[in-house]
Amino acid sequence: MRRIVPVLLIVIMILPYAGAVPILDASTKFLLEGREYMETTQQLSLSLIALASSYPAVENLTISDLDYFVDALLTRQNPDGGWGYYEGSVSNVVDASYAVIALKKALAVYEGSKASLISDAIENGIEFLVNSRNENGWGYVPDTLTEFYPTVMAVWALGENGYSKDHPYIRSAIKYLEKAEPHGIRRGEFVALKLLAYHAVDYVSPELIGEAWDLVNSPEITVKERAFLTYVLLVYEGLTFETAKLLATLENLKEKNESFVYWANKPEKLVQREVFVTSALATWSFAKVSEELMVEPETPFEASCSELEKVQNKDGGWPYIVGFSSTDRATYYALKALKKCYFMDENIEKGLEWVKGRIDENMEISSERGEIYPPYIYNLLTLLEFNLVNESEKAKHIAFIKSLKREDGKWGDFLGLQPYDTALAIKALLALGVSPQDEDIVKAKEWLLSFPTEGWGTVLTTKYYTRFFPSEVSTTIEVLEALEPLVTRQDVEKHLNWLLEQRTEDGGWPNIKESYILGVLMYQGESSVELTIRATELLYAFGIDYRQETLQWLLPKKKNNLWGSSIIDSALATLYFSTFEELPKPVNLYEVIRILPEGNFEILYTFGRDKVAVSVKNSLDMLFGTNMTVEQFKEIGDGNYIVLAGLTEFDLSKYNPFIELEIDNESIYLNGESYKRDSTLLIVPGKTSKGYVLFILYPRNLDNAVKVFFASNIIKYLNGVACVVTYEDKNQNGIIELEELKAEFVR
C-alpha cells in the first residue's frame, strides 16, 4: 500500500485553481502539503532542494517548513554516512548523493547548532561517497561495477562540495561519463544529470548543451524530463527569451486544484507519474528564475566593478579587448578602477604581480629604443598608484626617464620630439615625486605651451623643417593631463577651446571629429568612451563642467556587461561613476512586471492602436487577475501606465536614461545594436517621479505580433532594461505565430 497513497492524493485534486496565486507559492504549497506522503530519499531531497531554493521568494515559506525535510534526511542517514532508497534501507550512492546535495542547498538557510548538524551529515555523506568509489567511478553500492547513474550523481554531489574537474576522482569519472550510455534512464534525464554534474565541477561540454536544447524542444520527452532540462538550461544560459519560453511551456503543463499546482508525467507505457519528483524539479526551475528576477539592480558603479573582475586574464593582467592578451595600459586602468571598488583584493594582488613581472622587460625595451616606451610608463604608474616603489627605485626610474630625453625637457621618437612622449615623461616624473620646478619639467612645460597649434598632435622634425600634423583629441588630452598641475586655465585656454570644439552633437568626443580634403568631408570620427570621460574630467579640473551631460551620455553605453568597447573604456567608466555620490539604478522590465497585479496600471494608446490595446488589456487581465482601463493617449501623469505607440512618438531618454534609441527609415538602433525597423517591436520600462511606464513601441504592421506576444506567459519573465522582439514569417503564411517571434533581453 505504501506506493498507492500518493496516487490517491493526486486523484482527488480536481477542484479549480485560483490563477491569481503566484505559481511558486502554489507549487511550494503542494510540496509542503504532500510531505507526509513522500517515502523515498529522492522525493524528500528534491523537495528540499526546491523549497530551499524558493525560500527567499515565497513569503509564507518558513524555516520550520524546511525543518521537516531536513530532519527527515538527518534521521534517515545510516551509520556508514550514506542513505538508502527508503528509511532503513541499505546505503547506496544515488540516494546518498541526492541527500548530500539537498542538505548542502539547505545549509545556506541555517545557522547555529542546526547548521552544525547539517554540516556533519554532509561531511559523513561525502566520506561515504569517497569510500564507495571504485577504479573509474561509482557503482550503486560499494564494490560493484561502475554505472552511469551513481557515477553522475556522485560527481554532482562532490562538485557541490568543492571538488573540481581537476581532482583525480572527478577526472576519471568524467572520462567514464563521456563514454557512458543511458541504461534504465530516459535520455532527457541522462543529459540533465550530466550537465548539472559537469557544471558543479566546472567542466564544459558544448555539444551536450546543444543536445539539451534539441531534447527540450522535442514532443517525445516526459514532463519530468522537461522540468529537469528547463532548470539545467536556466543554470547554463540564465533568463533569456528562449528559456522564458521553456518556463511558459512548463507552466502550461501544470495540473492544479483550488490552492496549489503540481506537475506529473502523462500516464503511458513504462512511464510513471512521478508526481513529487516532477513537481520538485518544476518548482526548482521557477525558484531559479525567481532568484534571478529578484536580484536588486546594481548601480552602474557596482555593476562595472564586478564585471571588471570577471574579465581579468588568467595571467593576472587585463586585455584591451576581452579574449585577447593582457596589455599594460588596460591593466593600469583596470587596477586603478578596482582600487576604487575594493581597495585591495585577490584580483588586484594578482594584477600587481603581473605588472611587477613586466616592468623590467619593458624598461629594457625602452632602453634599447632610447625613447619613452608607453608600456613601461604604465607599469611604473601602476606600481606608484599602489605605493609599491621604494625611494631607491624611484631615484633609479627618475634617472632612467631623464636619460631618454632628446633635449632638455623634450622627449620623442624616430620622427622627432613628440608632445605625447613628453607628456608621459612629465606624468611619470611628477608621480615619482619630482618637483614641478625641476628644470626638465619647466622646460617641457614651456616647450608644449610654445606650440603654434590649437591642441597637439604628432610632430615630424627634420634638419630642414618641422611639420605639425593635425591635432588629435587623444594627444591633446594626454598633454593637458600632464600640464594640469603646472599651469593655469589662461595658459592653455586656446587648447581647451579646441578640445571643446571637438565635442560632437551626441555629447561625446572622438579622436578626430572631422577630416576634410579640398573642402570635402572625408572622415567623421565616432565618439569614444575613453576620450569622452578623460575630456570631461580634464575640463572639470579647469572649471568647465560637463559631468552630468557626460553621465547621461555614458549610461546607455553598456555592452555585454561592460561600458564602451574596451576594457579601458569600462575601467574609466568605473572611475567616473565612483566620483558621483548618487547614481541612478537601471529601470528593469521585471521591476515593472512584478507590480502589474496591484499597480493600477492604465493602458494608453496612440492613434489607430485601440484594438491592440484592448487585446493587451485582456491578456494582462487574464494573466494577472487585473481589470485595467484603456484610453487614448493624452498625457503621462502621476500614475502607472502601459503605452502603445509608434517607434518615434516618444523620447525614451526622459523615462529611462539607460536607453539610447535612434531610428532611420530602415533600422532601429538601440544602445548601439541595429534591428530592422519594419519587423521589430520594443518593450521598454521607464520611470516618472510618481510611477512606472511600460512602453510598447512598434510599427503598425506588427499589430498581431503584439497581440500574440502578450497572449503568452512569457510576459511574466521579461527582464533587462529593454526587450527587443523581432518577427520573421518563417512559414510564409502571413500569420504571426509565437514560434516566429525572437526576442532579446537587453541587459
Least confident of 21-30, 237-246, 288-297, 710-719: 288-297
More confident residue, 183 or 390: 390
Task: Please count the CA atoms within 13 angstroms of the CA of 705 that sit on its side-chain side.
Answer: 26
Q: Which three cell numbers stand for residue 332?
A: 593600469
pLDDT band at 304 (very low <50, low <70, confident <90, very high): confident
pLDDT > 60? residue 238: yes
pLDDT at 296: 63
* Composition of the chain by helix, strand, coil, percent to 5: 50, 10, 35
pLDDT at 271: 60
pLDDT band at 660 (very low <50, low <70, confident <90, very high): confident
H or E segment and range at residue 124? helix 112-132
pLDDT at 588: 86
Least confident of 340-349, 381-390, 439-448, 693-702: 340-349
Nearest in space to 219 (alpha carbons), one of 269, 251, 182, 253: 253
Q: Which three cell numbers stand for residue 730?
A: 518563417
Q: Which three cell numbers stand for residue 679?
A: 519587423
Q: Could you count the other beta carbons within 10 Å of the beta carbon of residue 342?
A: 12
Q: Could you count the other beta carbons within 10 Å of the beta carbon of residue 493?
A: 12
Question: Which phi and psi (to 5°) does residue 320 adopt?
Answer: -70, -45
pLDDT at 294: 62
pLDDT at 550: 95
The arithmetic mean of pLDDT across residues 20-35, rounded, is 85
pLDDT per position as a tens digit, 113-151: 999 999 999 999 999 999 999 989 999 999 899 999 999
Q: What is the rounded CA–CA span in Å between residue 733 and residue 737?
A: 10
Q: Could you count the other beta carbons within 10 Å of the beta carbon of residue 96?
A: 31
Is residue 185 helix, strand or coil? Answer: coil
| DSSP 8-state symbol, 319 | E
pLDDT at 504: 93
The arithmetic mean of pLDDT across residues 366-389, rounded, is 95
Task: Of 407-416, 471-480, 523-532, give the range with the top mean pLDDT.
Answer: 471-480
Q: What is the rounded CA–CA span in Å between residue 110 and residue 102?
A: 13
pLDDT band at 241 (very low <50, low <70, confident <90, very high): confident
pLDDT > 60? residue 100: yes
The arithmetic mean of pLDDT across residues 665-669, rounded, is 93
Q: What is the rounded CA–CA span in Å between residue 411 and residue 370?
A: 10
Mean pLDDT across the chain: 90
Q: What percent of the chain has pLDDT over 70?
A: 95
Q: What contacts 581, CB < 8 A, 6 or more positions away?
A: none
Least confident of 170-184, 515-529, 540-554, 567-581: 515-529
Specify which residues 644 forms β-bridges with.
605, 696
Nearest in space to 636 (alpha carbons), one of 601, 592, 660: 601
Q: Could you count the other beta carbons within 10 Å of the beta carbon of residue 79?
A: 7
| DSSP 8-state symbol, 183 | S
The arithmetic mean of pLDDT across residues 682-688, rounded, is 92
Asked if 641 and 693 touch (Cβ cutoff 8 Å), the reply is yes
Q: What contacts 351, CB < 8 A, 6 or more positions away?
A: 312, 316, 317, 318, 331, 334, 335, 338
pLDDT band at 5 (very low <50, low <70, confident <90, very high): very low
Q: What is the rounded CA–CA span in Å between residue 265 and residue 271?
A: 7
pLDDT at 94: 97
Within the chain, which residue ranges are assigned CATH 1.50.10.20?
4-13+20-291
pLDDT > 50? residue 20: no
pLDDT > 80? residue 25: yes
pLDDT at 10: 35
Helix segments in 238-373, DSSP class H? 241-252, 275-293, 300-310, 328-342, 346-369
Specify which residues 271 forms β-bridges with.
268
Q: Which CATH number is 589-746 given?
A: 3.30.379
* Beta-sheet pairing, 640-645 with 601-605: parallel
Edge-to-edge strand order for the sheet containing 722-727?
629-632, 601-605, 640-645, 692-697, 680-687, 722-727, 741-746
pLDDT per position as a tens digit, 363-377: 999 999 999 999 999
Q: What is the rounded CA–CA span in Å between residue 606 and residue 395?
A: 71
Q: Could you count the other beta carbons within 10 Å of the beta carbon of residue 399?
A: 9
Q: What contacts 317, CB < 8 A, 6 or more positions away?
A: 326, 327, 328, 330, 331, 351, 354, 355, 358
Q: Which CATH number is 4-13+20-291 given?
A: 1.50.10.20
The arithmetic mean of pLDDT across residues 458-474, rounded, is 88
Name residue, grid cell 608621480: 431
pLDDT at 580: 87
Q: What percent of the chain has pLDDT over 90?
A: 70
pLDDT > 60? residue 313: yes
